[in-house]
């Protein structure tokens, strides 16, 4: 029998959590949620249990694709004019960039509507890793050490991430006892509800309430009240994860489902739609990706993101207008033989900040989980939110979502912060169908690199006929010719980064066509960390990008 389930996640403990669930009879949603919660413990520099958790999934029983936004909104007390007066055009690091934490609600909604298990069932690995600790691995150690000054600013954050006054060292055990207590409080609330006669769903309701209206909420709110934060009780109590429409893009005989304009999923869809309209030959040059053409497509998708994309309730156009054939044809027609440093309609609103450019320091925060189960259910989620730019709530171990960093403090700006408005999220998981049947789950960390890395992997798979491993391992490029998603939203016209193992003739071709090139190390984490699960007629495959700390597993149903 062929292997018939596949898992790829950002860390081996998360992969192990998903594998345990699948081996014991759980479905892809149960397994994906278990992995996602674990990532919030074992990658606490990149992912927060109180962060964001956007999800896209496919239900094999009815063929429905579902997207859960998993991103919180700005508190009711948020005011853009006050923020600009006090802090300038960009939301500062610290407590003020906190939006409503969405991940717990997102995981629990996925379980409630599409899973089969309870919260305690899926959080066992996360609880153990928080309580007993996990071994510090190189990417985690390097990330904290490189940002040690930022971690040191806030005592409650430093107490966890700089134990003994220094960054954790590779091979040491990293424990988070307060986070373990937070997870345990949700487990206990669920157990009390079940002991009182409640069923699985009532148990999940109780676990959710423990976070959003119970003792955890009280700690978060008290800290915000005492330290000038914006969160209030009704912000947490009223929060609901939104089920959003997806955008299905035909691409080389497959159907790629992308998330909407509340994240850069619509930019992923626009990129693939342009490439599909141009045709396979336009994307290839001598059996390799025509990198000039791809970069120009990407620059136009990001220009349109800057000009048009925000929380859809605040957009001035319909998101699907960006996928209209006549619009895409006009964008393609504007691509020339040489680099366009900053394609219209992107208008940079921020001069260089003087800080290190994002392509020099990289965008590490975020992880991913991809699962396909034996029944053909697909789960793809990209949980996120770092710990270095915010304040851990004392006694909880929680770095509450700092996604406000993606909003502007500029009155009238398309992405200006506003009460109840979602920051435009960068994480954007995708899934794919082939001949109407389950085919793929994919995602990656990397901020503005996410769309770019996934597009290159899909081209490698579907245009260049690489194996999945070859497609993920192949060297990547990335443009930065657009206003960045994160404060201070720097713009780097014409800038392209490439991995050092890119063939020299491709580097020379890009230089000749006017691109401003700089080199990354080969297979750097800055180029993303793809996690992909694939189901082909021959069986299933799972690949975790060697650029980061992920692992992958395949297996047979019990």
The per-residue pLDDT for 348 is 45
Distance CA 94, CA 402 (A): 8
Closest to 94 in 3D by CA, of 383, 376, 528, 404: 404
- Does residue 383 contact residue 367 with C-beta atoms inside 8 Å? yes
* List of residues 6+ apart from 75 with CB closer than 8 A: 98, 99, 100, 230, 231, 232, 235, 419
pTM here?
Answer: 0.96
Distance CA 109, CA 304 (A): 32
Residue 504 backbone dihedrals phi, psi, to 5 degrees: -55, -35
Distance CA 287, CA 279 (A): 14
Q: Judging by beta carbons within 10 Å of its beta carbon (0-12, 13-18, 19+), is residue 279 exposed, middle or buried? A: exposed
Q: Judging by beta carbons within 10 Å of its beta carbon (0-12, 13-18, 19+), is residue 313 exposed, middle or buried? A: exposed
The per-residue pLDDT for 443 is 98
Low-confidence residues in the chain, pLDDT < 70 = 1-3, 346-356, 358-364
Query: At CA 523, angle to CA 522 and CA 525, rounded to 5?
Result: 120
Q: Maximum distance among all alpha carbons in the chain? A: 72
Query: Which alpha helices (H) appear in 434-491, and where do they start and end?
Result: 450-462, 468-473
Closest to 162 in 3D by CA, of 395, 154, 525: 154
Distance CA 444, CA 428 (A): 8
Cα torsion at 72, 316, 363, 130 (round to 10°)?
Answer: 10
The token duo for 233 is 């009780």
Three-state secondary structure call for residue 246: coil
């Amino acid at each position: 029998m062929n292997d018939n389930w596949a898992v790829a996640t950002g860390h081996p403990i998360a992969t192990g959590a998903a594998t345990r669930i699948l081996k014991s009879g759980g479905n892809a949603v149960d397994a994906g949620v278990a992995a996602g919660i674990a990532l919030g413990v074992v990658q606490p520099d990149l992912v927060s249990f109180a962060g964001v958790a956007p999800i896209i999934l496919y239900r094999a029983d009815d063929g429905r694709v579902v997207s859960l936004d998993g991103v919180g909104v700005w508190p009711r007390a948020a005011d853009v004019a006050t923020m600009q007066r006090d802090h300038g055009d960009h939301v500062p690091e610290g407590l003020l960039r906190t939006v409503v934490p969405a991940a717990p609600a997102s995981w629990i909604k996925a379980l409630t509507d599409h899973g089969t298990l309870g919260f305690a069932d899926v959080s066992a690995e996360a609880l153990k890793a928080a309580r007993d600790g996990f071994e510090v691995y190189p990417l985690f150690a390097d990330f904290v050490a490189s940002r040690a000054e930022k971690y040191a600013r806030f005592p409650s954050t430093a107490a966890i991430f700089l134990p003994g006054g220094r960054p954790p060292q590779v091979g040491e055990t990293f424990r988070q006892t307060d986070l373990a207590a937070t997870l345990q409080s949700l487990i206990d609330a669920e157990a009390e509800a079940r002991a009182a006669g409640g069923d699985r769903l009532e148990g999940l309701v109780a676990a959710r309430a423990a976070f959003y209206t119970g003792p955890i909420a009280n700690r978060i709110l008290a800290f915000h009240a005492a330290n000038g934060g914006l969160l209030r009780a009704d912000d947490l109590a009223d929060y609901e994860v939104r089920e959003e429409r997806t955008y299905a893009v035909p691409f080389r005989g497959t159907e790629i489902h992308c998330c909407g304009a509340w994240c850069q999923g619509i930019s992923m869809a626009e990129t693939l739609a342009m490439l599909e309209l141009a045709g396979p030959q336009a994307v290839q040059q001598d059996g390799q990706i025509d990198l000039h053409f791809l970069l120009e497509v990407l620059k136009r998708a990001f220009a349109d993101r800057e000009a048009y994309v925000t929380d859809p309730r605040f957009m001035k156009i319909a998101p699907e207008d960006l996928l209209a054939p006549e619009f895409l044809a006009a964008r393609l027609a504007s691509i020339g033989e040489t680099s366009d440093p900053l394609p219209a309609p992107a208008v940079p609103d921020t001069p260089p900040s003087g800080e290190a450019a994002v392509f020099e320091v990289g965008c590490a925060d975020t992880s991913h989980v991809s699962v396909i189960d034996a029944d053909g259910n697909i789960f793809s989620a990209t949980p996120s939110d770092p710990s270095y730019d915010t304040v851990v709530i004392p006694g909880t171990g929680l770095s509450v979502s700092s996604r406000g960093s993606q909003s502007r403090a500029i009155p009238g700006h398309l992405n200006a912060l506003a009460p109840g408005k979602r920051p435009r999220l960068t994480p954007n998981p995708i899934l794919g169908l082939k001949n109407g049947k389950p085919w793929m789950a994919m995602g990656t960390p990397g901020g503005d690199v996410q769309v770019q890395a996934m597009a290159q992997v899909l081209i490698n798979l579907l245009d260049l006929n690489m194996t999945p491993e070859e497609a993920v391992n192949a060297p990547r490029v990335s443009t930065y010719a657009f206003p960045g998603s994160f404060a201070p939203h720097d713009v780097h016209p014409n800038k392209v980064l490439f991995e050092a193992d890119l063939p020299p003739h491709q580097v020379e071709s890009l230089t000749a066509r006017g691109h401003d090139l700089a080199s990354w190390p080969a297979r750097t984490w800055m180029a993303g960390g793809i996690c992909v699960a694939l189901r082909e007629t021959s069986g299933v495959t799972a690949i975790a990008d060697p650029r980061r700390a992920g692992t992958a597993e395949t297996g047979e149903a019990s």
